[in-house]
A and B are shown apart, each in its own frame.
Chain A
C-alpha cells in the first residue's frame, strides 16, 4: 500500500517494441498499483533499456550522456558486467524488476515527485519511439509497421479508462448457469428430472443399462469394433448406425484401430429422446450388420455424431436421476479427466462436480451434500460419465481432505480469492 497514492515514479523505456511497452504499462497499473508510470525520456526518473536489441548499447551511451545521474536498469540475456547500473537477466521476473525499481526510487538524485496530472499531459515517448523505429527485423514483430505505434496507447488508455469508469448495476440474484446456458434439450431434461425425482430418488432406485437404448448402443459399438462392420439398430421411428473405428495403416506396422467410432442418427431428436428415456421392448429392436459404405451416410436428415456424444445423451435420459445397477453411493468416484463439456448436454452443477472429483474423489452422496446439488443431478452426471468410460466407483478413499463421505469440510473451504472468483462467475452467467 502506498503512503500517498499520488506519488509515483516516471519510467522511460528504450529498445522495446510497443508490445513490451504495453506489458510494462499493465504491470505498472495492475500489480504495481500505479506506483510507476511510463514517461517520456526527458521527464523520466528511471530508464529501463533493453541492451540486446540493435543499437541497444547506443541507447545506453546516449542515456548516460544526457542523464548522468539517472538510475538505469539494463535488460539482457547475457551477463554484460555493468558495475554501475542494475542489470536484470532475461527472462524478466516481477520481483527482480520491482526490486530494481525500488532501489532506483531510493537514489538521492530523485528529489521531487510529479503530480499525476502533469504526466497525463505528456504524450511523447521519445527514446522508446526511437527505439521501436530502429529495431531490427529480428527484434521486433514482422508486422510492426508504423500505423501500429499509436494503437497500443489506446489499449493502455482503455485500461486506465475502464479501471476508472463507473459500471452498470449488477443484477442481484443469478439463475444457475446451466439453466441460462442450456440448449432446449437441457431444459427439457431438467423438467424431466424434476418430474421424476420425487418418485425415484427417494427409493434409491437404480437402472439396468441393458434395458435401455444406452445398453443396445454399447452392444452395437462393441460388435462394430470387433467385426469391423457397421451395425444398424432398427428402432420404432427410425434407425441408428454405429460404424467401426477407422483403420490406420502405417508402412510395415500392423494396422490399428484409430479414433472414435461415428454414429449416424436417422431418427428425429424427439424420437431419440423418447426412446432413450424408457426401457425398450427387446422384441422391437433389430440389430444387423450392414456394409461399411452405408448408403445413408451424408443423406438428408441424417445426423452424424461420435459415439461418446450419443452414449452420453442416451445415458442421461436413461438415468433420469438414477444410477446404473450396482453403483455404490458411499464409495468415492474416480474421474479420469474432464469431459468435453462444451459439446455435451449438461445439467446444472456438472462443472462443479467434475472439478471437485478431480481434486477430491468423494462419494456420490457426499458430493451432493457438500456442493448442495440435488442427488438426481449428481447421479445423472455420474451415469453419463460412466457411460463414456470417464468415471467409475473406486475403493480408494480421498486422502488428506476428509473421507469419501465428505465429512472433511476443508475439501471445499473458501480460498483467498473466492470472493473475486464468485463475482466473475456471476458475471459470466449474466448474458
Chain B
C-alpha cells in the first residue's frame, strides 16, 4: 500500500494548520503550543513540531498532509521531510512586515524539492493587508523565472485550499483527467 504526501510550508501565522484542517478527513493532529517571544504578537498558538492530516483515497491509499513548524527559518532536515513528496504548498501571510522576503526565503529553502516537483502559493490575510497583491507576487516570481499558481486564499475555506491543490495537481500533469 502506497502512502503519498504533500508538504505545507510557510512562515508563522500563514495558516498551515488551518489549511490542513480544512481538507483533512480526520481532525489534524497538531502540536501547537502557547507562543512566546517574537511569535506571540502574530499568533497565540504556534506549531512547534508538526501538523499532520490525511485524505483517504480510493483503493485504500492515503495522502498525508504535513505542515512544517512555522517558527523554523531553517531546518537541516527539510530534504528528509520532503523526500518522496508529491509537491509543495507554500502559504504566505500577507499581513507581516516582509511577505516578499518570506516568499523568497521559502522558495530558496525548498528549491531542490520544487525543481523535482511543483509548488503552488496561497496568500492569506489579504483582507487585512492588500499589498503586496497577487500581481506583485507574480512580479517577484518572474524575476526568478518562476511561473506558478498564486492564489489569494482563506485557509478556513475548503474550496480555496482545494482549488490550490487542484492547481498543484494540474501543474504536475496538465493532461490529468478525473
Binding site for B on A (CB under 8 A): 17-20, 22-24, 26-27, 29-31, 75, 77, 90-94, 97, 141-145, 147-148, 151-152, 154-155, 158-159, 162-163, 166-168, 170, 174, 176-177, 181, 259-260, 337-338, 340-343, 351-352, 354-356, 358-360, 370-372, 411-415, 417-418, 420-429, 431
Q: A145 → chain B, closest Cβ, in Å?
A: 6
B147 touches A355 (CB 8 A): no
Residue from the list B60, B148, B150, B171 in contact with A167, Cβ < 8 A: B60
Known: A20-B77, A338-B150. A415 touches B48 (CB 8 A): no
Please give, as numbers and ranges, the residues of chain B lying within 8 Å of A141 by CB-CB distance.
48-49, 69, 71-72
A144 touches B48 (CB 8 A): yes
Residue from the list B29, B58, B77 in contact with A423, Cβ < 8 A: B58
Known: A337-B147, A424-B57. A412 touches B174 (CB 8 A): yes
A417 touches B173 (CB 8 A): yes
Known: A342-B153, A343-B152, A424-B55. A91 touches B79 (CB 8 A): yes
Q: A339 → chain B, closest Cβ, in Å?
A: 9
- Taking residues whose C-beta sits less than 8 angstroms from the other chain, chain B's interface range is 35 or more
With CB as the reference atom, state the residue of chain B lying closest to A343.
Answer: B152
B134 is an interface residue with CB less than 8 A from chain A: yes
Docked CA distance A94–B83 (Å):
7
Docked CA distance A20–B68 (Å):
11
Docked CA distance A31–B4 (Å):
9
Please give, as numbers and ranges, the residues of chain B lying within 8 Å of A174 by CB-CB distance.
178
B86 is an interface residue with CB less than 8 A from chain A: yes
With CB as the reference atom, state the residue of chain A lying closest to B58.
Answer: A170
Interface SS of A by simple majority: helix
**18 A-B contacts (beta carbon < 8 Å):** A19-B69, A30-B5, A141-B69, A148-B49, A181-B163, A260-B135, A337-B147, A338-B150, A354-B170, A356-B174, A412-B174, A413-B175, A421-B86, A425-B169, A426-B178, A427-B56, A427-B57, A429-B178
B80 touches A19 (CB 8 A): no
With CB as the reference atom, state the residue of chain A lying closest to B163.
Answer: A342
B3 touches A163 (CB 8 A): yes
A423 touches B59 (CB 8 A): yes
With CB as the reference atom, state the residue of chain B lying closest to A308.
Answer: B135
A158 touches B133 (CB 8 A): no
Please give, as numbers and ranges, the residues of chain A lying within 8 Å of B149 by CB-CB distance.
338, 341
Q: A26 → chain B, closest Cβ, in Å?
A: 7
Further contacts, 10 of them, CB under 8 A, given A18-B49, A24-B80, A352-B174: A93-B79, A142-B36, A340-B150, A341-B167, A371-B175, A417-B173, A420-B57, A423-B59, A426-B178, A429-B178
> By CB atoms of chain A within 10 A, which of B55, B77, B172 has the most?
B77
Known: A30-B3, A428-B162. A420 touches B61 (CB 8 A): yes
Please give, as numbers and ranges, the residues of chain B lying within 8 Å of A31 by CB-CB distance.
83-84
B131 is an interface residue with CB less than 8 A from chain A: yes
Docked CA distance A167–B150 (Å):
33
B156 is an interface residue with CB less than 8 A from chain A: no
With CB as the reference atom, state the residue of chain B lying closest to A360.
Answer: B174
With CB as the reference atom, state the residue of chain A lying closest to B176.
Answer: A421
B33 touches A23 (CB 8 A): no
Residue from the list B23, B31, B60 in contact with A18, Cβ < 8 A: B31
A170 touches B163 (CB 8 A): no
Return the 9 tightest CB-CB contacts between A and B, nearest first. A412-B175, A170-B58, A355-B170, A167-B56, A90-B76, A356-B174, A31-B84, A94-B83, A355-B174
